[in-house]
Structure 1
Amino acid sequence: MNSLFIWKIGVKSITIQIDFLKRDHFMNTKFIELARSKMGAVVQIYAEGYAGEEVKSILNPRLGDLKDWSGSGFFIQNDYAQDIIITNAHVAKNAKSLEIMTMLTSEETFQVELIGLVKNNEPDIAILKLKKGELKRLKSIAKKEIPYLSLKNDMNITRGTSIKAIGYPMGMTEPNITAGEITNFISGDRMSAEKFVTDAAINPGNSGGPAIDEEGFVVGINTSIYQDADNIGFITPFMFIEIILKNIFENDSVCFSDIGGSFQKNSQDIANALGMPSNTGIIVSSIEKEGFLASAKLKTEDVIISFNNTPIDRHGIFITDEHYHRRNIFDAFKLIPIGQKISLDIWRDKKRMSLTGVSSAYRPKKITAKPIIKERDFVDMWGLTVQALSYEILESFNATNVYTFYQILKNFDENKERLIVTHVEKESPAYQQEWSIGEVLTSINNFPIRDLQHLTEILNEQQDLYKIKSEEGTLGFFKRNNRQKEIKIVNPTMFLK
């Protein structure tokens, strides 16, 4: 009796398992077919330009060599133009020329141009556009419309969400499709952006391609892998694409909204001292002159307890009913279009009050990043290569000369542009007078130097002798002969060969 009962239960269990397998097979086959149908929107990107991250070529811009690389991208449905292509910033950065190839037209290539990118790769997004006439040529050769991809229109992405990553890894000439899931989320902060984590294979060349869900919507951009681990890749979330398109076309800015200050975690002791009923919310610890916090007329020691009617805990995390994904105030703020009003509830002077401010673009107040090679102008004079200090130069010194790195930070004044010696030519007049890399120029002929333009103006006044001093106290005397050409600001792109 018992054995018959067990046997019957077993048959039922097997039947149920077979039904599940059939359903899973059907769903997987459907997803595969859907991913294949999206391949026409995915393009291979060919770039020629300057890698731009090598220390020696950052400090001495003449050393740049032209290189070529490839990546992926995709046509996106949007409200602004028919020929917009999304990719990663690191795919398009420092490219002199960009071309795409698509499955729609066999091996034809089409020229594209960069219309905007996030310079520090946080988030890692660039927007490309077909050059004039290329959209018409593409359609005439393809004899069909472009199958644009659409961004996901809700935030319902959880751990375990199935995805397909599409792209052209390792320079393959046809799209590659890999399967995986969203396995985790990495929160951002003021200087970095939120990322999705996936176990789908993402390889060099795959960067910039779309990751789509089972409905065919783009959930993000295939971006990078974690070098020291297997099956850990990173996807730039779809929300940032929508915001950057809006900011570029409506506000002429590739920046994201910025909070304009910093915060401190709340505690029970602080909450008690401020007369708060609980220790929720984050404490405003600093406010910049320009930014959202200033526009909302916040003060230091104010406690932000809600943001657009969503409560915030003492860690700066939004308190919602959705427990599958934590989002902090920095991540949320980046997703607000520039110029939009934001409401806050705060705690001040032992009472709750409401304020409103307007979101504004991030404006760096400290060392400016210049990841784009054409922005790295310099001046050559008597064997000295002089550039305006940038984040890339500082990082290069950190890798090659830690003492110089700390000296620059020690004396840094964010209100002044600092002109720094990044290269000294051997056997040059400056070399003979023992000038060194890392010297910060302060004056010429006792005139304080403001910037590169001011430097060249003084140098071209045809003086008999130029007295140059550095912040470190180094002194130099240099002569110009009558045959010496006008000293100009030089752009490093002229040295690319």
Structure 2
Amino acid sequence: MACSLPSRRFLSALVLLPAATLGACGQAIGTASAASPAPTAQVAAAVPAQAAPPIQKALFNPAVAGSQGGITSLAPLVDAVKGAVVNVEVRARPRRSAAMQRLPPGMAERFGLPPGFGGEGNGPARQGAGSGFIIDASGIVLTNNHVVEDADQVRVKLDDGRAFDAEVMGRDPLTDVALLKLKGAPGNLPAVPLGDSDALRVGDAVMAIGNPFGLASSVSAGILSARARDIQAGPYDEFLQTDAAINPGNSGGPLFNMQGEVVGMNTAIVGGATGIGFAVPSKLIQALLPQLKETGVVRRGWLGLAVQDLTPDLARALGLEAMKGAVVAGVNRGSPGERAGLREEDVITSVNGKPVESAGGLTRAVALLQPDSRVKVNLLRGGKAQSLDVTLGTRPAQNGEQEVLPRNASASAPRRLGVQLSDARDGGAQVVAVEPGSPAERGGLVPGMVLVQVGDQKIASVSDAAQALTAAKPGAALLLRVRMPGSESTLLRAVEVPER
């Protein structure tokens, strides 16, 4: 999975840390160039998790820590926290590609391909490994979404040799955060706390532990190199940058401060470079955890605006003295912003008293608020300060975004019908893909259609559709009402519900 840096020079250099592939790739470990001196390394004996001291505030004090040759040792900190750092191993069946989904039934065979080519269960299973860390003694683990996305089996290995199967409790693709629950865990596992990433200063010491290239419990250290990096990986980028060595396989692993608190989750690197890695801040993770634990997904507040940064030139053209803010470039029809009276050329300066310095800052601030919550938006209109009360909507899935269903809404029903859905911008569940030969295809569903009613139930979202389809009796002919894109009229479709 690749994403790009703002600079064209590094357009293809930035990559999310992939789960290190098991096998040949995992064994091909590069050696240091002869031109660069080999770094010295100390090998510490593994300490069983049971022997690790409990995590406490001010656990590690460099002023009193042991030292060798005048260099402060991180060994006490490593011994205290490494029992909570885990290896995450995944297996996934090959998925049918988007191109194969579009092939009509029998088309693959006509080209000489084996029956069902590209479907699930054909070809070798994908295997990979990443990192994670336990945040609750009952066996709650944080890792990256891209480590466990599409995984059919997840197994977590602890530093002391124990291993547990795990289920994905929740995940958020937009911030690359996922939450796991270990099955059969004893309830007294070593855990590490989430710290305050906002308290970090550039230059503060940090330490990473993870599973790079399958090398379990690898430790590296460095400093915080920069804060609030927008690497254009997603709409909510606010990464911590560090020069602590992180590599493929470190995905999902913790970045510690010197008190043994996790201040970031290692996520992305710049390919071909050294000393440039990125971590999701712990404060952002803390904001997502309640929803991930409760429903398994993150629902975000939404204003329905197109915004851009307030530049000095724009400020002068708008007759403003302010130099920071988000300029409203467009207002979506029927959106919460329109209903509240927001207009084009308004400059939003704060939300609920929190200053807004840029378009990205506004997007992140609103996304951390709950849908249906009422917020106060301060703005400048025609050079005059105003405030509006806005009731936020729910951010719809954008084009190309994967819709993640809540745990209380079954994802199996749409899969059984052979249809993939995402929330439609104007309400309903839009058909994204249809499996060839599936009940959905036989019933006349095609990509682009918007599902607005299942039986007698009105459909406003994917969650509604999943619940309605799950409640349908196997073998029944289910009546669907659909709308074509750009059309106000609806059509009827009948789909046979397959056996569970």
* Aligned match for 1:346, one of 355, 379, 400: 379
Amino acid at match of 1:97: Q
* Aligned match for 1:254, one of 298, 307, 315: 298
1:256 and 1:361 in contact (8 A); partners too: yes
Cα deviation 1:204-227 (Å, max 9, x = unaligned): 322111110111110111223222
Which position in structure 2 is the counterpart of 1:300?
344
Amino acid at match of 1:179: A
Amino acid at match of 2:141: I
What is the number of equivalent residue pairs in this alignment?
Answer: 380
- Aligned-partner SS, 2:152: strand
Which position in structure 1 is the counterpart of 2:252?
208
* Aligned match for 2:158, one of 80, 93, 102: 102
Cα deviation 1:392-442 (Å, max 9, x = unaligned): xxxxxxxxxxxxxxxxxxxx9998846768889xxxxxxxxxxxxxxxx9x
Say yes or no: does 1:124 pair with 2:139: no
Which position in structure 2 is the counterpart of 1:87?
143
1:378 and 1:452 in contact (8 A); partners too: no
Say yes or no: does 1:115 pair with 2:169: yes
Cα deviation 1:168-215 (Å, max 9, x = unaligned): 22223x411111222234126773422222222222322111110111
Amino acid at match of 2:76: E
- The alpha carbon displacement at 1:281 in A equals 2.7
Say yes or no: does 1:184 pair with 2:226: yes
Which position in structure 2 is the counterpart of 1:428?
none
Distance 1:48 1:347 in 2: 53
- Aligned-partner SS, 1:135: coil
- The alpha carbon displacement at 1:249 in A equals 3.7
Distance 1:420 1:261 in 2: 28
Say yes or no: does 1:284 pair with 2:333: no
- The alpha carbon displacement at 1:40 in A equals 1.0
Cα deviation 1:231-282 (Å, max 9, x = unaligned): 3222122122111112234566324444532213335665466553445432
Which position in structure 2 is the counterpart of 1:357?
390
Cα deviation 1:331-361 (Å, max 9, x = unaligned): 3444445565543211225521122335554
* Aligned match for 2:91, one of 35, 48, 55: 48
Which position in structure 1 is the counterpart of 2:20?
none
Say yes or no: does 1:74 pair with 2:133: yes
Say yes or no: does 1:158 pair with 2:217: no
* Aligned match for 1:330, one of 358, 363, 368: 363
Say yes or no: does 1:37 pair with 2:80: yes
Distance 1:181 1:375 in 2: 48
Distance 1:127 1:259 in 2: 28
- Aligned-partner SS, 1:206: coil
- Aligned-partner SS, 1:283: strand
Question: For residues 247 and 416 of structure 1, do their structure 2 counterparts lie closer, same or farther at Cα, with a shift above 3 Å needed?
Answer: closer
Amino acid at match of 2:142: I
Distance 1:421 1:113 in 2: 27
Say yes or no: does 1:167 pair with 2:217: no
Amino acid at match of 1:305: T
Structure-1-length-normalised TM-score? 0.62
* Residue correspondence of structure 1 range 415-494 to structure 2 within 5 A: 417=430
2:196 and 2:282 in contact (8 A); partners too: no
Distance 2:244 2:194 in 1: 19
Question: For residues 236 and 261 of structure 1, do their structure 2 counterparts lie closer, same or farther at Cα, with a shift above 3 Å needed?
Answer: same
Question: For residues 329 and 95 of structure 1, do their structure 2 counterparts lie closer, same or farther at Cα, with a shift above 3 Å needed?
Answer: same
Question: For residues 181 and 300 of structure 1, do their structure 2 counterparts lie closer, same or farther at Cα, with a shift above 3 Å needed?
Answer: same
2:197 and 2:283 in contact (8 A); partners too: no
1:187 and 1:331 in contact (8 A); partners too: no
- Aligned-partner SS, 1:38: helix
Question: For residues 51 and 210 of structure 1, do their structure 2 counterparts lie closer, same or farther at Cα, with a shift above 3 Å needed?
Answer: farther
Question: For residues 449 and 71 of structure 1, do their structure 2 counterparts lie closer, same or farther at Cα, with a shift above 3 Å needed?
Answer: closer
Distance 1:252 1:161 in 2: 33
Distance 2:269 2:333 in 1: 38
1:377 and 1:490 in contact (8 A); partners too: no
1:452 and 1:489 in contact (8 A); partners too: no
Distance 2:96 2:205 in 1: 35
Q: Is 247-256 or 83-92 further displaced after alignment?
A: 247-256
Question: For residues 29 and 290 of structure 1, do their structure 2 counterparts lie closer, same or farther at Cα, with a shift above 3 Å needed?
Answer: farther
- Aligned-partner SS, 1:95: coil
1:239 and 1:335 in contact (8 A); partners too: no
Question: For residues 39 and 62 of structure 1, do their structure 2 counterparts lie closer, same or farther at Cα, with a shift above 3 Å needed?
Answer: same
Structure 1 stretches lacking a partner, 5+ long: 1-19, 140-144, 318-327, 380-385, 392-411, 425-440, 455-459, 463-469, 472-485
2:194 and 2:263 in contact (8 A); partners too: yes
- Aligned-partner SS, 2:286: helix
- Aligned-partner SS, 1:76: strand
- Aligned-partner SS, 1:34: helix
Distance 2:414 2:90 in 1: 20
- Aligned-partner SS, 1:62: coil
Which position in structure 1 is the counterpart of 2:470?
none
Which position in structure 2 is the counterpart of 1:394?
none
2:397 and 2:422 in contact (8 A); partners too: no
Distance 2:356 2:294 in 1: 30
2:340 and 2:388 in contact (8 A); partners too: yes
- Aligned-partner SS, 1:114: strand
Q: Is 82-91 or 280-289 further displaced after alignment?
A: 280-289
Cα deviation 1:65-111 (Å, max 9, x = unaligned): 4222222111114xxx833110010111111121212124x2x3212
Say yes or no: does 1:225 pair with 2:279: no
Question: For residues 291 and 156 of structure 1, do their structure 2 counterparts lie closer, same or farther at Cα, with a shift above 3 Å needed?
Answer: farther
Say yes or no: does 1:234 pair with 2:278: yes
- Aligned-partner SS, 2:307: strand
Amino acid at match of 2:155: E
Question: For residues 227 and 147 of structure 1, do their structure 2 counterparts lie closer, same or farther at Cα, with a shift above 3 Å needed?
Answer: same
- The alpha carbon displacement at 1:44 in A equals 1.5
Question: For residues 308 and 101 of structure 1, do their structure 2 counterparts lie closer, same or farther at Cα, with a shift above 3 Å needed?
Answer: same
- The alpha carbon displacement at 1:149 in A equals 0.8
- Aligned-partner SS, 2:342: coil
Question: For residues 342 and 169 of structure 1, do their structure 2 counterparts lie closer, same or farther at Cα, with a shift above 3 Å needed?
Answer: same
* Structure richer in helix, relative to its length: 1
- Aligned-partner SS, 1:37: helix
Structure-2-length-normalised TM-score? 0.61
